[in-house]
Structure 1
Amino acid sequence: MAQTLPRSVRLGYGSGSVATGAFGTVPGLMLLPYLTDSLGIAALAAGAIVLLPKAWDVVLNPVAGRVSDRTVDERGPRRPWLLRAGLVLAVCFALIFAAPEMATGLEAAWVLVFFLAAASAYAFFQVPYVAMPAEITPSYDERTRLMTWRVAILAFTIMLAGATAPVIRDAVGGSANDRAGYRVMGVAMALVIVVGVVAAYVGTRNAPVGRVEPGPGTLGDQLRIVAGARDFRMLLTTFVLQALATGCMLAGVDYLAEDVLGRTGATTVLFVCFVGPALLLTPAWAALGRRVGKRTGYVASSVVLALGAFCAAGARTAPVGVVFAAVALVGVGYAGCQVFPLAMLPDAAAVDTRRTGSSRVGVYTGVWTAAETLGLALGPGLFALVLALGGYQSSTDGDVVQSDLTVAAITYGFSVLPAMLVLVSLWWLSRYTLDARQVEEAR
């Protein structure tokens, strides 16, 4: 029987989600509007700027996993990277939104360079961080409990960062498009990242860490072996499609608030509606997973998320309260869609370790986080494409009345498109076969 982890370790590990939540949320929410409505960059070009640094992580994340697998340090192979990469991430993040007034092309280049630097640092923070649970505990159920803490803190961070970033921007700048507001917001969110980085580093100092025995062969050899793990592929495909859906919704929040609902403060309210239920119901999803199994719980939460997204399709005509309720339903499903796959990933890695006799957990998590990052990056890129097809008009002050076609594109890009992606992802999830018995046998 695996030893139950102390609360201090669960809290310490979960604190890393303060950093991942802030970096995962704020650029997805704020960067596209910053580029189109403050710097005046065309929607398609802005979408490319948001996408390219994250696409780079698809290449870099497996490398980061391989490097952390082979790191020899008295603090363990993963923890040193939390501090090293996390602090660099915070500095680069603040600089993303600090572009000085220059020619539009130079401003675009500034954002691209520092977003690329931040994404690179994030790879070397996130991959070791996600790899840790497989080594902290061998227990199928204890990993679910560990992920419950992580997702609860992640949900709180999403609410904190997603709700306050627009408020800081508007309060300092006086409008949703003022550069000074974006600069101060960037520094404030960078400080939030620092808190998460330091808390995770300090909080995991007493966490049990299993011995890491990296698999033989080159990175390419190990990637081919990981690609041959069928259950991992099914789980990864499901999660990536849902990350694409989430990224699309996240990118659309500010546009939905401003151009569809016509309420500047609605961005913050939408985020509270989204994350509030997740904070309350994350433990409930974890309890359901222990009762019916992780895969069944994952299916149920995915259906709830898709249903909420479909309900948001009436945003142009429905009372604003109905729209907020639909987004709250999305939040209920989103909580489960984070708890279950993140608890299933270390199961797949543990089964592989038992089968092969060597650990590729860093490579597994490198591939996972690379694919997740790509999905979250493609989401804003896909939404930017929807904006362009809808004829969205960029500006430097945001004072543009968008056409009915554009408003429809924003609405359906935020609702119907993500819902369909989530439902399609369930085909791959239905083919995932690992259960508690198989995972416990691999211990």
Structure 2
Amino acid sequence: MSTADGPVGNLPRPVRLGYGAGSVATGAFGTVPGLMLLPFLTDTLGIGALAAGLVVLLPKAWDVVLNPLAGRISDRTVDPRGPRRPWLLRGGLGLAACFALLFAGPDLGSRAADTAWVLVAFLACATAYAFFQVPFVAMPAELTDDYDERTRLMTWRVALLALTILLTGASAPLIRDAAGGRDGYRLMGLVMAVVIAVGVVASYAGTRHAPVGTVEAGAGTLADQVRVVAAARDFRALLTTFVVQALAVGAMLAGVDYVAREVLGSAGASTVLFVCFVGPALLLTPVWARVGERAGKRRGYAAASLCLAAGALLLVTAQVVPPAVVYLATALVGVGYAGAQVFPLAMLPDAAAVDAHRTGENRAGVYTGVWTAGETLGLALGPGLFALVLAAGGYVSSEGGGVTQPASAVTAITLGFSLVPAALVLLSLWWLRGYRLTAAEVAAATSEEPRAR
């Protein structure tokens, strides 16, 4: 193992755990707004489904523009702690503060003013998140040159991500319901802000002894580098696959609360659905990692995607089968979801590292900026897509909820939670066919000396 001056092969367990702790922040922010924000807007503030979908979408669309810039800035950051770690603290603590404000708005006396508060606060969250998430995702390409070590590193990250999704996704509705009304949302937002802050500090502290790559930042303008990255065939295929699947997952997350209340007839079922969705990931993430080592990352990713799609297709029957069947189908989705997180997140640093070794220029931040922009767009469009399905089904918004929905709205909820995500995941496999980077190619590229610029 080398010193902190450059990438190594196998990483020590404290570094793996420290890096993975950042997923506590990303998991909480990626899960809770996707689960809770749309119902908050439609059933507490009384905002129409289409308008609520726009409120959820617009700040995330801003991130699509901002993320590559955040990556470029972190690439060029000069700091004794490395180019990424300072941004973990700056962006992460900013995210925690803004998240506390997201659901904490006072009653401003009009729907327009209440909507504006949420929009501005969510925009601030998205901005802070970009400066945390992009450097965080860029780190693996610089921590190790080993193909399989990146998979192991992602196994820790995804395991902690799954645990965070389970705990925050299951507890957020319970906290809200315990206090009730807008006060419940305010308390929930504050608790989740504390969770985010803990994850940020743990990740910053845990990576203090992590190795730091020494490849120079890429030359040219941001637009030049984005064009270079976008032209990389393997990266482009992987990114498109992941974005389409993020769209599917975003739609499913947005639908959990609605399915629990309107299809299963119990608000508390949202917690059970989340346990079924995330629980398998806690057990099976290491299994998917072993599948990747034996069959290859691309084949493992395809298998996980098919598993996810199969579970989503089974959920089409949610209105007519017992709740136990719905929970089992959701668990099957969770099995696939675990692998559909491990593999692309392990394949991304392969593509960035190969580029860095071939060119001698560090574009890891730009790679991950473009990647995170795509992921953010997919997760943002997911609730927007679900909102469109709700509107098409005639969903009735109201302040305080309690409205009996028409049968068409219940059907729309079911299809938005099942058939639509399944179709998107299956469609994404078309692009996965274009990813050709193998373990041998990664090993060959990363064993060569970087080319001079």
Report the TM-score when normalising by structure 1.
Answer: 0.98
Q: Which consecutive aligned stretches of 4+ in structure 1 deviate over 4 angstroms post-superposition? A: none
CA distance in 1, matches of 2:122, 2:9: 41
- Picking from 372, 385, 390, the partner of 1:387 is 390
How big is the shift at 1:355? 2.2
How well do the aligned residues superpose, as a CA RMSD in angstroms? 0.7
The letter of the residue matching 1:420 is A
Asked if residue 119 in structure 1 is aligned to residue 126 in structure 2, the reply is yes
Which residue number corresponds to residue 95 of structure 2?
89
SS in 2 for 1:442: helix
Which residue number corresponds to residue 36 of structure 2?
30
- Picking from 65, 90, 93, the partner of 2:71 is 65
Q: Which moved further from structure 2: 349-358 or 238-247?
A: 349-358
Asked if residue 162 in structure 1 is aligned to residue 169 in structure 2, the reply is yes
CA distance in 2, matches of 1:138, 1:84: 27
- Picking from 356, 360, 376, the partner of 1:373 is 376
CA distance in 2, matches of 1:310, 1:164: 27
| Cα contact 2:9–2:145 (8 A) shared by 1 | no
CA distance in 1, matches of 2:218, 2:13: 32
CA distance in 1, matches of 2:104, 2:123: 15
SS in 1 for 2:217: coil
Which residue number corresponds to residue 79 of structure 1?
85
SS in 1 for 2:345: helix
The letter of the residue matching 1:22 is A
Which residue number corresponds to residue 15 of structure 1?
21
Q: Describe how 1:43-442 pairs up with structure 2 within 5 A.
A: 43-102=49-108, 103-173=110-180, 178-442=181-445
SS in 2 for 1:188: helix
CA distance in 1, matches of 2:168, 2:412: 26
How big is the shift at 1:354? 2.1
Which whole-Å deviations, capped at 9, do the CAs of 1:342-372 have from their partners, x for residues lacking one?
0000000111112222110000000000000
Which whole-Å deviations, capped at 9, do the CAs of 1:158-213 have from their partners, x for residues lacking one?
0000000000000111xxxx100000000000000001000000000001111141
Which whole-Å deviations, capped at 9, do the CAs of 1:195-242 have from their partners, x for residues lacking one?
100000000000111114111100001011111101000000000000
Which whole-Å deviations, capped at 9, do the CAs of 1:42-93 have from their partners, x for residues lacking one?
0000000000000000000000000000000000000000001111100100
CA distance in 2, matches of 1:267, 1:157: 16
The letter of the residue matching 2:105 is A
The letter of the residue matching 1:100 is P
CA distance in 1, matches of 2:387, 2:252: 11
| Cα contact 1:69–1:212 (8 A) shared by 2 | no
The letter of the residue matching 1:155 is A
Which whole-Å deviations, capped at 9, do the CAs of 1:308-341 have from their partners, x for residues lacking one?
0000111101000000000000000000000000
The letter of the residue matching 2:115 is A
CA distance in 1, matches of 2:267, 2:222: 48
How big is the shift at 1:3? 3.1
CA distance in 2, matches of 1:133, 1:64: 17
CA distance in 1, matches of 2:100, 2:393: 32
Q: Which moved further from structure 2: 424-433 or 350-359?
A: 350-359
How big is the shift at 1:389? 0.5
How big is the shift at 1:398? 0.6
Which whole-Å deviations, capped at 9, do the CAs of 1:97-151 have from their partners, x for residues lacking one?
0121121000000000000000000000000000000000011000000000000
The letter of the residue matching 1:344 is M
The letter of the residue matching 1:10 is R
SS in 2 for 1:207: coil
Which whole-Å deviations, capped at 9, do the CAs of 1:365-399 have from their partners, x for residues lacking one?
00000000000000000000000111010001111
The letter of the residue matching 1:258 is R
CA distance in 2, matches of 1:336, 1:140: 17
CA distance in 2, matches of 1:99, 1:190: 15
| Cα contact 2:36–2:254 (8 A) shared by 1 | yes
The letter of the residue matching 1:59 is V
The letter of the residue matching 2:428 is S
The letter of the residue matching 1:157 is T
Gaps of 5+ in 1: none
Gaps of 5+ in 2: 2-7, 447-453
Q: Which moved further from structure 2: 291-300 or 348-357?
A: 348-357
CA distance in 2, matches of 1:420, 1:427: 12
